[in-house]
Amino acid sequence: MAMISEHPSLSARTLLDRRATGIEPFLERYTANFAFYGSGKAALYDGLAGLVTPGENVLVPAYLPDAVVEPFRDLGLEPRYYRVRETLAPDRADLAERLDDETAAVVTVDYFGFPQPELEAVASLLADRDCYHVDDNAHAPLSVDDGTLLGTRGHLGVTSLRKLLPIPDGAVLYCNDDSVAARLEPLSFAGVRDRFGVDDCRYVLESLAGDLLGTNATVRRAVERLVAERAVSVPDPKARYEAAKTPMSRLSAAVVAAADPTAIRRARRTNYLAWRRCFDSRSGVEAYHETLPEGICPQVFPLRTGSPQRLVAALERCGVAAHTWPRLAATVRDDPAYAVARRLARETVVLPVHQGVDPIAIEAVDDRLRRRATTASRSAPRRSVPRERRR
């Protein structure tokens, strides 16, 4: 059974593709003003550092991973979560209510590589205000909507390269406005490290080990058992942010320079459409997007289902690394005002579409899921027959 891993893995081919142009010339086709960082969070910190004053607030959607607000806290800003709608559009009335004279910035998110729905509503709300708009396109560095690179709307934007490529770190800050660019104060974690380091070697080794795990089921099961026994915990959001305050590594820069944007986007779109066909006629699941517009380079195939755990487990049995997204901030998890974001986080399952996935493997998963569904429906007890008569 072919494994469909969560992320693409690093191989010699990644670095030796002669047709590849690299990511930088691709970005340059759309914007001149950008800089590399180790993480999207570090880029958000630097992008806003010269523009805001401690004590101000920043508005972010409630449907957001917990660590994303850490750079704002680090800048002395109060993060305020605004409600979102089922469509992932901002709840305009809630956003308007939370905005005040101390609001330094409003963040919108291009979820899963698709443009933020109803962005115009936010733009019109901010039109007469002295407030920055941040276009968070962490999910999909190569997504272009109607000729505009996602992340380059608003005053500043970010994208996270490690969500696209097999790299240990990497992100881009876009300064979409001349006055923002002029006030940028790049800190020690801007740019690219000047040499290869121990972390680069560790990443290469982990990547090779990951490949081995993918191809050898016995080793994989042994490691999974060990990991489960040791119950590895994810560091808290602040610790993850502190660890992410770095420049981009040399290894990441080398992979970024050797990547082929056209081939990557084509592969991700093909895999996205293969998952779409797989789930099109299945009941109880709903794709987020009806179409895949030209230029979009999806991060994942996101869907919603009332039984996420069952779906994740069924996919896991087929070798697919799917999971719910995201882990919300505690403030959002504990507050009934964010019912929609909480429901979205519970019901959203994301499936890998990366360039390392073979669409034939997706078709094989489709077949297996269908066969299982048929077997399950054949062996299920027929409800109309009373229990005692079935013996």
Q: Which residues bind ligand PLP (CB under 6 A)?
A: 39-41, 64-65, 68, 109, 136, 138, 160, 171, 244
Among residues 4, 20, 19, 6, the alpha carbon closest in space to that of 255 is found at 20
**Hey, what long-range contacts does 377-384 have (CB within 8 A, 24 or more apart)?**
none
* DSSP reduced 3-state for 7: coil
CB 315 within 8 A of CB 279: no
Q: What Å distances lie between residue 189 and 30, 169, 193, 322, 350, CA to CA?
A: 24, 12, 9, 32, 31
Buried (b) or exposed (e) across 274-300, using 16+ Cβ within 10 A?
Answer: bbbebbeeeeebebbbeebeebbbbbb
Instruction: Say whether 328 sits in a helix, a strand or coil.
Output: strand
From the number of C-beta atoms within 10 Å of its C-beta (0-12, 13-18, 19+), residue 188 rates as exposed
Name the DSSP letter for residue 337: G
Q: Please state the closest distance from residue 38 (CB atom) to ligand PLP, in A.
A: 8
The first and second tokens of residue 101, run together, are 């004279």
